[in-house]
């Protein structure tokens, strides 16, 4: 497929105020698109808009909670009214709740599903009729390697991400007759964003991500690349590929390694109060980077490194055994 010229295209981006979302807004602005930025915080949206306008983009800000289907439909209508149509829609909102399943409040499990899964469904339901009427459009779902590798102690997060993968696959099947309508998935590994500090935390321990951590701008670049040249999916970061391989070989071992990594990390972490994070109210931080890449304790390195290495070794062994049989 010939790469699309994004200049003058209308791009709607949810979750635009921090992390991958903010990095994606900046990269789209550099590509010359017309941006519609959505998130819950008006003041931070205005800040991101100013940054994008300084790069030459036209920007519309629409404060939106993606769990509210009427608000998401209003977002789509505002984009069409301002720019005449929507060419690309990026579902980027993602939240998490960390803690054992039974100690995490049920309302928090529900909220994670509402934001991560139903929020994406709301976005797709709002924009796909528009794409079908125009016979073209690109829907990009920010999912996570968590759609392939389970995340023990974040069970609702896993449920939402596994669900999103199935949702995207189902949509691609339904939309096969429209060759110019694309549903694309992004599967990043662990990105160094403020996401961990924003997450709900019911562990009683301070959360810290385990390496390897990647620059969120890599995920943003993947989103912009999909807008230019749509394809079904893309993984971001070598660890994402390794974890997908490990899950393919042995889902049970993959989940066990994940649980071991979390338990080991929490056992050495400082105490912290229980918190709902940004599940029910917007978070405070709004940067692209989490600042963890140069702060992660050296003791955390073996946990993820071992899991990734194990995935690669198991995959290679399985491949060799398959060739012999």
Edge-to-edge strand order for the sheet containing 233-236?
Answer: 58-61, 34-38, 10-14, 88-91, 137-142, 181-188, 233-236
Q: What is the rounded distance in angstroms from the CA atom of residue 247 to the CA atom of residue 255? A: 8
Q: Which residues pair with 191 in a beta bridge?
A: 214
Active site residue 153: no
Catalytic entry in 153, 157, 202, 292: 157
Peptide bond connecting 212 to the previous residue in cis, omega within 30 degrees of 0? yes
277 contact partners, CB below 8 Å, separation of at least 6: 95, 96, 97, 198, 199, 200, 201, 283
Q: What is the rounded distance in angstroms from the CA atom of residue 24 to the CA atom of residue 19? A: 9
- As annotated, the active-site residues are 157
């Amino acid at each position: 497929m010939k790469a699309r010229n994004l200049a003058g295209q209308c791009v709607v981006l949810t979750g635009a105020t921090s992390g991958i979302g903010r990095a994606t807004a900046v990269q789209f602005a550099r590509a010359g698109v017309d941006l519609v930025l959505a998130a819950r915080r008006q003041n931070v949206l205005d800040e991101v808009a100013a940054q994008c306008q300084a790069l030459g983009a036209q920007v519309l800000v629409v404060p939106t909670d993606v769990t509210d289907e009427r608000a998401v439909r209003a977002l789509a209508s505002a984009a069409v009214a301002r720019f005449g149509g929507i060419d690309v829609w990026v579902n980027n909102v993602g939240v998490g709740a960390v803690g054992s399943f039974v100690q995490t409040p049920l309302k928090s499990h529900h909220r994670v599903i509402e934001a991560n899964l139903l929020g994406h469904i709301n976005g797709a339901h709002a924009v796909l009729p528009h794409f079908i009427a125009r016979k073209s459009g690109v829907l990009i779902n920010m999912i996570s390697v968590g759609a392939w590798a389970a995340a023990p102690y974040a069970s609702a997060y896993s449920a939402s991400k596994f669900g999103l993968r199935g949702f995207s696959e189902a949509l691609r099947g339904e939309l096969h007759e429209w060759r110019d309508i694309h549903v694309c998935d992004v599967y990043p590994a662990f990105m160094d964003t403020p996401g961990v500090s924003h997450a709900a935390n019911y562990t009683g321990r301070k959360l810290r991500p385990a390496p390897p951590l990647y620059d969120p701008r890599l995920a943003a670049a993947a989103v912009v690349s999909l807008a230019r040249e749509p394809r079904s999916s893309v993984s971001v970061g070598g660890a994402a590929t390794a974890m997908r391989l490990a899950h393919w070989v042995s889902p049970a071992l993959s989940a066990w390694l994940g649980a071991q990594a979390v338990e080991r990390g929490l056992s050495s972490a400082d105490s912290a109060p229980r918190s709902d994070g940004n599940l029910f109210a917007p978070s405070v931080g709004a940067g692209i980077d989490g600042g963890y890449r140069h702060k992660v304790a050296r003791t955390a390195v073996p946990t993820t490194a071992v899991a990734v290495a194990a995935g690669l070794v198991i995959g290679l062994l399985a491949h060799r055994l398959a060739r012999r049989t």
